[in-house]
Amino acid sequence: MTPNALIVRYGEISLKGRNRVHFENILREDLRRFLKAQGVTFSSVERSRGRIYIRGIESEVPLERVMGVLSYSPAREVPRRMEALEAAAAELYPLVQAAGSFRVSCQRIDKAFPLNSMDVERLLGERVRLDTGAAVDLTAPGFDLEVEIGREKAFVFHRRIPGFGGMPYGSAGKLVALTSSGIDSPVAAFLMMKRGVEPILLHFSLNEEDRRKVERLRDQLQKYAAGRSIRLEVIEHRELLRDRFSQLKADRRVGPFLCVICKHLMHRRGGELARREGALGLITGDSLAQVASQTLSNLAAYGTSSGLPVYSPLIGFDKVEIMALARRIGTYEISITKAPGCVPPANPRTRVDPQVFQAILAESGLDSAGESSDS
């Protein structure tokens, strides 16, 4: 069966009450923009009773990349007549016969259709059984033949492709995402994109290879931005510490605090960028206790440095979970590409007292009073 339509389903958007139409319209426009960016021909994208129908489609397209899509089905759109449903189903007979058993499931979006769902299932199921010789199995069928009766047309399909759900891209506002070339921070940015955030990526570059990796990660995340561009801001890491990394690392008092100092400065610079761009906070890839700078006490030491809310969607994830999600969204293989990185102090502090940290920060000469905004 050659599909000529896509049925798009969404989840929590349907729970938005009086704001539901607003979010449905955003998702509809995102779908249009995504299809155009993919170079896919279509005739219309229409919203109707809890569905979005893409009509006149000539090829399949990965709609799972559009935030807000819970699932979608390539379908054959036909007139609302039993003979039209039977003709569309007949094109699927080779798949039914290969599976050996089948089930017909019908959903009536339009309850005014003269046959109820059970009538359609019974009549179409009997036609398929007689024509194919396959057994009907209502509990564990080898093949699911689905029918949806819309207000003007009917749809026949056999696949439900899962999406990520969530909210349409950008519908929640902007956040600055502190982004490294590692595994965690791109996943954190993705999870907030799923919640409707438009991220501005802020990267503190260690070298050219590191920067190129982050550009590739941005390009991968951009695939989930509904045809939009994701902005990437880059600051040289050496500028963050005023070219004093080696000196500070060798300092017996300051050196053990250097990781937390770096995080403090990154958060502060992220807050400056957020205020300039009208973003409402920061995204970080912090996962509790994963590395020395991510203990509870260390997170507390630098977590308020930006003066803005900080969102850390991975805070309760373990590394295995993060890696699995990175593989699913396509950032993992990029993140594990070898590139020279930062060598932390031999014995970094894992339990930093906030008052002691402020004293060490002042001693380092990198406290807020001593650093200009464009250093």
List the domains of the chain with CATH numbers.
5-162 (3.30.2130.30), 173-365 (3.40.50.620)
For residue range 303-355, list pLDDT tens digits in order.
Answer: 888 999 999 999 999 999 999 999 999 999 999 998 877 777 777 777 888 78
**What's the pLDDT score for residue 217?**
98
Q: Is the pLDDT of residue 375 over 60?
A: no
**What's the pLDDT score for residue 290?**
77
- Among the listed residues 274, 352, 328, the one whose alpha carbon sits nearest the alpha carbon of residue 306: 274
**What's the pLDDT score for residue 257?**
82
For residue range 96-154, list pLDDT tens digits in order.
Answer: 999 999 999 999 988 889 999 999 999 999 999 999 999 999 999 999 999 999 888 99
d(CA 175, CA 279): 5
DSSP SS3 for 319 = helix
pTM: 0.89
- Phi and psi at residue 195, in whole multiples of 5°? -90, 10
For residue range 174-226, list pLDDT tens digits in order.
Answer: 999 999 999 999 999 999 999 999 999 999 999 999 999 999 999 999 999 99
**What's the pLDDT score for residue 368?**
55
| Helix (H) or strand (E) segment spanning residue 157 | strand 154-157
Q: Is the pLDDT of residue 63 over 60?
A: yes
d(CA 212, CA 16): 40
